[in-house]
Amino acid sequence: MIQTWLQPLPHGITLSCRAAGERGRPVLLFLHGFPEAAFVWDELLLHFARPENGGYRCVAPNLRGYEQSSQPADVAAYRAKHLVQDLVALIDIEGAPLDCLVAHDWGGAVAWNLANQRPELARKLAIINSPHPGTFLRELQSNPRQQQASAYMNFLVRPDAEALLREDGYRRLLGFFGNPPWLTEELKRRYIEVWDASLTGGCNYYRASPVRPGSADTVNLPREMLTVDIPTLVLWAMEDIALPPELIEGLDDYVSQLTLEKVPGATHWIVHERPAFVAERLAAFLAR
């Protein structure tokens, strides 16, 4: 059974959370991306909470700005340091260190930062199609293919982005997914409920970040902000339109204990497309 609650944090932010499994068990923390929400992890939460699959305490927060979590009006409140602060506080409540921090898309952007800044809070890191900040910045600065693939980011920072995204029953946002068989009418309904409640928060992640086409050239990230020294699984769906495979080239220069697994034929939405496969690869990583 999925448990839901509002979790106040000491610094005044509240995160709406979903979880399966008993408190006191080893913790897996799952972080969603855009334009998703915590519910996308439900199948994996239930899977890993079962005794035969480890009996973990599995927690998926809605990041600030999403669903019923706090939605600060100030764009600066969505900068990485504040997002990391939220997770540090939540991990302290759930019990550190995590057995694994699992993250996709924007959740991965936060997870890379947390693993760099507070490595003692997680024994392992699992990233699903979320570019490392070092390789992402490199590709945005030098690769026209990545610049074109990321051009949508400059749409999402427009002041009228939310109004345009809501047109025609969220036609543009639903178009992010394509027209796959897993996108059922029930799933569309769940997404639309999230977007009705919290679309501005998701767009504010892009507004707060300087790492996007047209502005990335002015960004310099010191190497000490980019290294990750805990065991890390990167599961990379190779048909990701927005995040081409060049982003995983040179990852081992930043991640000292890297396991990189390429998944041909899968897209950015691999968690929806192949949840059993994602669970199997994550289980193998946890067992090492």
Q: Read off the CATH number of the domain in which 58 is found.
A: 3.40.50.1820
What's the whole-model pTM score? 0.97
Tell me, yes or no, if 152 is annotated catalytic: no
Asked if residues 232 and 101 have their Cβ atoms less than 8 Å apart, the reply is: no
Q: 3-class SS at 19?
A: strand
**Percent of the chain residues topping a pLDDT of 90:** 97
Asked if residues 135 and 236 have their Cβ atoms less than 8 Å apart, the reply is: no
The DSSP 8-state label assigned to residue 236 in this structure reads E
Does the pLDDT value for residue 96 go beyond 90? no
Residue 21's Cα: distance from chain center in Å? 21
Query: Per the structure block, which two tokens stand in for 139?
Result: 């590709």
Contacts 24+ apart (CB under 8 A), 205-209: 205/34, 205/65, 205/78, 205/106, 206/34, 206/153, 206/156, 206/157, 207/75, 207/78, 207/156, 207/157, 208/75, 208/76, 208/77, 208/78, 208/79, 209/79, 209/80
Domain containing 247: what range? 3-286
Catalytic residue among 86, 99, 105, 240: 105
Tell me, yes or no, if 205 is annotated catalytic: no
Cα 275 to Cα 45: distance, rounded to the nearest angstrom: 11
pLDDT of residue 214: 85
Tell me, yes or no, if 132 is annotated catalytic: no
- Looking at the 3D structure of the chain, how many domains does it have? 1
Q: 3-class SS at 177?
A: coil
Averaged pLDDT for residues 136-154: 95
pLDDT of residue 219: 86
Averaged pLDDT for residues 212-226: 90
